[in-house]
Amino acid sequence: MSYFRIQAAQVDQYEEDGFFVVPNLLDAEEVALLSQIARADHDLQKKKASRADGEGGAIDLVVSNELSNDSIYGAIVRSERIVQAMETVLLDEVYHYHHKMILKEPRVGGAWAWHQDYGYWYHNGCLFPHLASCMIALDHASKENGCLQVLRGSHHLGRIEHLKVGDQTGADPERVNAACDRFELVHCELEPGSGIFFDCNLLHRSDQNKSDKPRWAFICCYNAKHNDPYKDSRHPRYSPLEKWSDDRIMEVGQKQWEKLRAEA
């Protein structure tokens, strides 16, 4: 089985557009296992938080700064296919900044306001916008169930001031409206297992899920070693990230699934 390795054309796309999509970043077996585990994981349900979207809805998510050695989440974050790509686009060794699961449920899943991740990570002591994320679809992501939307090339704007939008932090609406007039809006419709790598200054959002289909997504966030924050915050400072073989995703995930089944 061949695993994803970033290509020069994708590096160019990342620099020009602020993002690129990788079909089948996780293969069918891997994403099916991730989905099974996530939906059976009682800790996710216990730890999930809800954030009002300012549009009458709310979005559920679980954020973690810690990496387990015996979970599929930790294996994905450490996987060579993702870490190597992040090191390539960020031009340095990277470390785990945090990871999160987005649980956008049918008919009730809330929206995300337009924002840049660096809009608020800036306040965590990160001097440079040298952070990036990889979002992996657990379910089919479509316009109907609130897929990710991006403004192609908007990372070139630099950081925009951010304000409170419901329980979320959103980019200045006046600037966003101007950006929407100048940049192409892209709906990132993804099949399960497909991933999108994106820059921390890329403007992105998602609509509420008014369909009868769920849209869960797993997001791995990384910071460059040279961008080690100058102060403590809710997310960690630099510590070395062990890079794992891609095969470990299935190996660790199968053990975790067996444990969950035994505990059920």
With beta carbons less than 8 A apart as the criterion, state whether 244 and 68 touch.
no
How many domains is the chain partitioned into structurally?
Answer: 1
Q: Domain for residue 14, yes or no?
A: no
Q: Domain for residue 30, yes or no?
A: no
Q: Domain for residue 26, yes or no?
A: no
pLDDT tens-digit readout, 163-213: 887 777 899 999 999 999 999 999 999 999 999 999 999 999 999 999 999
pLDDT tens-digit readout, 61-113: 999 999 999 999 999 999 999 999 999 999 999 999 999 999 999 988 888 88
pLDDT for position 165: 72
Q: What percent of the chain has pLDDT over 90?
A: 86
Q: Domain for residue 212, yes or no?
A: yes
Q: Domain for residue 260, yes or no?
A: no
CATH, residue 123: 2.60.120.620
The predicted model scores a pTM of 0.96
Q: Domain for residue 9, yes or no?
A: no
State the DSSP code for 213.
S
Interatomic CA distance for residues 38 and 40, integer angstroms: 5
* Domain extent at residue 197: 44-230
Q: State residue 64 phi and psi, 5-degree precision.
A: -135, 135
Q: Domain for residue 241, yes or no?
A: no
Q: Domain for residue 207, yes or no?
A: yes
Could you give the C-alpha distances from 151 to 91, 105, 262, in angstroms and in order? 23, 25, 45
